[in-house]
Amino acid sequence: MKLFMKLPFFFLLFSFTANAQIQALNDNKTKPKNMTQRWELDTTAVRGTFLLTPYKPIYILLGKYSSNPNDQPHSENNAPEYIVPEGLPYDNIELKFQLSFKTKVLQSFLWGSADLWVAYTQKSFWQVYNHDLSRPFREINYEPEVILNFPVKFKILGFNTRMVGIAFNHQSNGKSDPFSRSLNRFILHAGLERKNWTVYLRSWYGLSDNDGDNPDISDYTGRADLNVIYAKNGHVVSFIGGYNMNFNSSPRGNAELSWSYPIKNNLKAYLQISHGYGESLIDYNHLQTTVGVGISLIEWL
């Protein structure tokens, strides 16, 4: 498919989702400014059900460089149907974008305190500058999620714990063998705050660790992660680190650092640096370092 045929679809999809988010959330009077507002954790922040609200950041990396493009993905399953016959000449610079939103579907149930959310995140990796391959989408990851959240109030190590909960998370890339990858997880999470700092802790049990598509995926991408966010004067810096919890042998994981800087209104310059395994599902067992620059519309805060 030619580039000019893909561009209208891409920008229409991005524009529709972003505009829905911005109209509901980026008005100065309603924009969430902390975890309590973002997750509606007390009566002053409640906004009702079935309203689109931010989940993860929305951004476009107009150029993302990889130190080690995954030209010939492979699965730890060595069955013939998971062997890629030959590699593809992928560029080490591509375009990456992420869309993400959530909505509350049940409010104040389970002893009058829990909220049930559904969420969706999509990450796309587009070889838009690769003329030789007709500019394909190298990988698209689809991530629906169901989240049960409980507001709490207690202190730990000087941080105010605001919420705890459990989620069921599914990820897949929608491809057939030998490129099919998927992951199902039950996730325990907690959210904490202190002044300009926000921290999310997650640990999960991977139901796909013995899946034929990608066995032992958690040994590469991790079984827990830590998201630390610092926000001040319009700047948002976040660090996400995942670890496979193998303390004795084969420690692996990933790290991602991002920084957004306000340009005008809701538009921000965006820098993202990552290192490790699993930037995408197809790369779950592939080690690389990436650096990307672009713009963002929605941040963690």
Selected catalytic residue, list 172, 180, 182, 260 = 172
Which 3 state secondary structure label does DSSP give 32?
coil
- Kindly tell me the number of DSSP H helices and DSSP E strands found in the chain: 4, 13
Catalytic one of 74, 170, 235, 275:
170
CB 37 within 8 A of CB 8: no
286 is catalytic: no
Cβ neighbours of residue 25 closer than 8 Å, sequence gap 6 or more: 31, 32, 53, 54, 298
H/E run at residue 267: strand 267-276
- Burial call 180-209: b when 16+ CB within 10 Å, e when fewer: bbbbbbebebbbbbeeeebbbbbbbebebb
- Catalytic residue check, 172: yes
Catalytic site positions: 170, 172
